[in-house]
Amino acid sequence: MFESGRGVCERLLPVFLFIRIKRIFVSCTLGFLFVGFFSWFFFRSKSFRTGFLLFGENVQEDGKVFLSPSSAGQAFIPSVTVAMSENVVIALDAMGGDHAPDIVISGAMLALQENPSLRFIFCGDQTQIKPLLEPCPELARSSRLIHTDVMIGMEDKPSQALRRGRWRSSMWLALDAVRKGEAHATVSAGNTGALMAMALFCLKTMSTINRPAIAVTLPNILGEKSILLDAGATIGATAEQLVEFALMGEAMARALLGVEQPRLALLNIGVEEAKGLDEIRKAHQLLKNSELPITYAGFIEGSDLCMGYVDVIVTEGFSGNIALKTAEGVARFVRTQLKNIWKKQPLWLRWADILFYPVFRELRGLTDTGSMNGGILLGLNGIVIKSHGGADARAFASAVRLGHDMVRNGLLAKIESDLACYHGKSSSGQPGLVVTS
């Protein structure tokens, strides 16, 4: 009996071994095919090539790419209007921000790769910038350096910054390049208060503007962008200033979003006309009874900021800054939670998640505050872009891109035209603002 059982086992053993070997072979084949497809998919992906992984943080490349000034020291003198065939010159505060000048130079390199028509003027300490120079001859030919060893700290008060840095700091020199006509726009990741104060002294406000505003872009569920202003420049704005913000935001929407008649709303604690502060309700009446070609949609609540109901959201600087920081905080929370949840999954489930990579990539783009980096100071006689102080190279390049787009689309001319129309109607005794509802 035992012998017969042993004989059966001996006859079945090759069958069992064959089945086991077949399973191993099939598993290895499928594994190699999956890894090959995964590698092909990621290597052809733009996100992989630029160093961004699924739910990961931004990765800096091993080889830093820096910008050296042109050996010839060529100056770029822009014309008043910029044709598509002309270069756009951006003056950069190379010493502004938490990670300057490395991030500023690397961000400029990324922006130049995306748009070869850009030209740069770097304002900063050559003893810090020159050691970072060399590897990129294209950027070297497209830039020049203005040396200064005076820089504005992130902790400096605006009054201190003006006393110490006026006429000679890297921030002032970048603004002064716009004032002199050497550059079309300025980008700085430095101290916000100092930048606002210096911009007011150096560039001045437009003749019909009382106070400037900081305008930023927000993503919405329609896959488009909305503009929020003011994000912190003017605390406690009056009704007339809110109307000016509306006109400037409308002009920016036409220049940036390409919307002929942007829909506009006032940020409030409710949509009823009886709610809100006095200045908000006064601005509501001015906008409601106006005769300029703006589609005024009334009040909007904070929960609808990213719903895409309107193109421009107007508020004063205090509430606008809180709304912006809250939206950014929620975006970081969502990204961090998704990343943590993904890390907790078993390994086999993580591989399965790769199939949903396109969905995750799109979600990451929507919640990526770096891609929306850059606030523009509206109401000045020049284009000034404020970048986040802690921005990385990709986020700084986004701020440079915003400045380029504003120059190309004639933002200042659109704002001046709208303001002239508004004040012309006001001086003639007609209702001073926008009509349409």
Pair (92, 230) in one structural domain: no
**Preceding omega of 78 cis (within 30 degrees of 0):** no
Whether the ω angle into residue 101 lies within 30 degrees of 0, i.e. cis, is yes
Q: Is residue 54 part of a domain?
A: no
Same structural domain for residues 425 and 323? yes
Whether 307 and 242 map to the same domain: the answer is yes
Report the alpha-carbon distance of residue 403 to residue 239 in Å, rounded. Answer: 28
Let me know if residue 102 belongs to a domain. yes
Whether 17 is in a domain gets the answer no
Q: Please tell me the distance from the alpha carbon of residue 348 to that of residue 338, in angstroms, as a whole number.
A: 17
pLDDT at res. 91: 96
Strand 225-229, strand 312-314: pairing: parallel
| Same structural domain, 295 and 352 | yes
The answer on 149 and 89 residing in a single domain is yes
pLDDT score at 356: 67
Distance, in Å, from the CA atom of 176 to the CA atom of 119, rounded to the nearest integer, reads 16
Domain span holding position 102: 65-203
- Domain end: 177, 203, 229, which one? 203
Domain boundary among 172, 203, 234: 203
Task: Specify the pLDDT at position 11.
Answer: 53
| CA triple 137-142-147, angle to 5 deg | 95
| Cβ-contact 301, 270 below 8 angstroms | yes
- Residue 21: count of CB within 10 angstroms of its CB: 10
Same domain assignment for residues 197 and 130: yes
> Which letter, b or e, does each residue of 349-364 get, where b requires 16 or more Cβ atoms within 10 Å of its Cβ?
eeeeeeeeeeeebeeb
Same domain assignment for residues 421 and 273: yes
The tokens for 277 are 């502060």
Q: Which amino acid type is present at position 314?
A: V
The beta strand positions in 236-328, using DSSP E, are: 263-267, 295-300, 312-314
359 φ, ψ to 5°? -65, -45
Q: How many residues does the chain have?
A: 437
Residue 431 and residue 296 share a domain: yes
Residue 39 located in a structural domain = no
Based on the fold, state whether residues 160 and 254 are members of the same structural domain.
no
Looking at residue 394, the DSSP 8-state letter turns out to be: H
Tokens at 366, concatenated: 């929507």
Phi, psi (5° rounding) for residue 207?
Answer: -60, -30
Torsion of CA 342, 344, 346, 349, to 10 degrees: -20
User: Rounded to the nearest 5°, which phi and psi values hold at 255?
Assistant: -75, -40
- Full-model pTM: 0.74
Cα–Cα distance between 419 and 433 in angstroms, integer? 10
Task: Say yes or no: 188 and 255 in one domain.
Answer: no
Q: Which of 203, 227, 258 is the last residue of a domain?
A: 203
DSSP letter for each residue of 214-225 = EEEEEE-TTSSE
- Return the bridge partners of 413, or none: none
Q: How far apart are CA 110 and CA 82, in angstroms?
A: 22
Provide the strand spans (E) within 161-243. Answer: 185-188, 213-219, 225-229
- The answer to whether position 45 is within a domain reads no
Quick check: is 4 in a domain? no
> Hey, CA dihedral for 337, 343, 344, 348, is it positive or negative?
positive
Other C-beta atoms within 10 Å of 74: how many? 12
Q: Return the pLDDT at 129.
A: 85
Six token digits for residue 374: 């850059």
In the chain, the number of structural domains is 2
Structure confidence at residue 49 (pLDDT): 35
Name, in order, each residue with C-beta under 8 angstroms of 390's C-beta and a sequence gap of 6 or more. 97, 98, 99
- Please tell me whether residues 253 and 372 are part of one structural domain: yes
Beta bridge partner(s), residue 386: 188, 375
CATH of the domain at 192: 3.40.718.10
User: Residue 246's closest CA among 417, 435, 434?
Assistant: 434
Q: Is residue 9 domain-resident?
A: no
Residue 37 lies in a domain: no
Same domain as 403, residue 304: yes
Q: What is the pLDDT along the chain (437 residues), one digit of tens a residue?
A: 434 444 544 554 454 555 556 555 555 555 555 555 555 554 444 433 333 322 333 333 333 333 333 333 333 334 445 555 578 999 999 999 888 898 999 999 999 999 999 999 999 988 888 777 678 778 778 889 899 999 998 888 888 888 888 889 999 999 999 999 999 999 999 998 899 999 999 999 988 888 899 999 988 888 888 999 989 888 889 999 999 999 999 989 988 888 888 999 999 999 998 898 999 999 999 898 877 767 899 999 998 998 989 999 999 999 999 998 898 888 888 888 878 887 777 776 667 666 666 767 777 766 676 677 889 999 999 999 999 888 888 999 999 999 999 999 888 988 888 777 776 654 444 433 333 33
Check residue 30 and give its pLDDT.
55
